[in-house]
Amino acid sequence: MLVYSLAGRNGDYRLSDLWNGSFRVDQIEPNLSEETNLGLVFGLAQTIGRRLNLPRVWQYYLLLAGIVPRRLKLALRSADLIICDMPWCPPIAGRFPGATWFLLSHNLEHRILEQGPRPHRRFAGWMRAIESAAPSRYQEILACAEEDHDFFRKFDPAGRLRLPIVRNGVDPEAYRASAGARERVRAQLGLEEADTLLVFSGSNFAPNVEALQELRAFCRAEAAFLQRERTYILALGSVSTAPGREGALISTGRVPEILPYLAAADAGLNPVMRGSGSNVKLFEYLAAKLPVISSAFGVRGTALEPDRDYIPYDPANPSDAIRKFVHGNSRTDWQLHAERVWARHRRSCDISELVKEATLQLPQFNR
């Protein structure tokens, strides 16, 4: 199996390589490798698009026209199954006999664009038209949540596609913290063991940023309550632009890895109220064996049940959810609770289990 990346990161490019169409191949594991194209055309297109804060329009049109690296064409000609990673990667013009084209829909991209910055919102209608046409262009579409499934089914009235829901998930083995990580990070944050730390992990995506703004306002308005409850909220990742601390709100900015911070936390917080697809942060909390505090919207795309599997969070009254967590159980009991929730829902969160389920549903994977 080959994963093909059209462009690399900034640090992957060297001036001496830009003119010779260079590439890099990384062996991820036996029978799975990744090739990254490091040529000039796609590298510059990606850089310009990011500098102008534009979505990947350039990528869609280049691939649709069949303008792709030579090595990618060779790989496509020998492929039995081609999975396009999101609608930014359309079926490529050209002759690829015997290939089956799938779309992997992480979320409805037009919904993401609708909720993004102004330059992105301008392309939302264009992307909606592309996603509406997807059922007639692909042999199958893998959706990650019910909203996506229902959208694509609407444009497949004859029911030609199976449209299986293959939910987002994580590798639970990647969420085993090293010994002492909890104590080390809490010491760095200036927290004592008796303090309660709620972690909100997120990227610099509008729904996350809005949720953080609400949390910041809450921490200011309820500073006395949070101090009395010895409760702190950790904004983890690029959802905050830089490290900082304001009362009970601690921000890390971008970090090289999140696992030590998850180990330091007592619960995972997901206060988002809009978005598309499902929140990977939720699966990370579950795999890290953290109790979950979430809005009803935040658990979309999962089978988690309120009160049984997570504490419901009301953005209009965050104090209620915090009280339920701080006073509802001991830390040991909450840990046992998180273990039971993971055991109940592992098959719908463990990426290896999800992939197995997908291969059983789709005979094309079993050739």
| Rg, C-alpha atoms of the chain | 22
Residue 209 has pLDDT above 60, yes or no: yes
Residue 268, classed as helix, strand or coil, is strand
Where is pLDDT greater, at 64 or 225? 225
What is the average per-residue pLDDT within 39-68?
87
Domains of the chain: 2-169+354-366 (3.40.50), 172-350 (3.40.50.2000)
* pTM: predicted TM-score of the whole model, two decimal places: 0.77
Gap between the Cα atoms of 34 and 27, Å rounded: 6
Looking at this protein, which amino acid is placed at residue 18?
Answer: L
pLDDT digits over 318-328, tens only? 999 999 999 99
Residue 20 has pLDDT above 60, yes or no: no
Residue 10 has pLDDT above 80, yes or no: no
pLDDT digits over 54-90, tens only? 888 889 998 888 888 889 999 998 888 899 988 998 9
What is the percent of the chain with per-residue pLDDT over 70, rounded to a whole number?
A: 96
Residue 206 has pLDDT above 90, yes or no: no
Q: What is the pLDDT of residue 271?
A: 95
**What does the block give as tokens for 194?**
């008796």
Residue 44 has pLDDT above 90, yes or no: no
Question: Is residue 104 within 8 Å of residue 84, measured between CB atoms?
Answer: yes
pLDDT digits over 241-287, tens only? 899 999 999 999 999 999 999 999 999 999 998 877 678 899 999 99
SS (H, E, C) 330-365: CHHHHHHHHHHHHHHHHHHCEHHHHHHHHHHHCHHH
Q: What is the pLDDT of residue 201?
A: 95
Look over the chain and give the mean of its residue pLDDT values, rounded to a whole number.
Answer: 89
Q: What is the pLDDT of residue 329?
A: 93
pLDDT digits over 110-158, tens only? 988 988 888 889 999 999 999 999 999 999 998 888 888 999 999 999 9
Gap between the Cα atoms of 129 and 154, Å rounded: 13
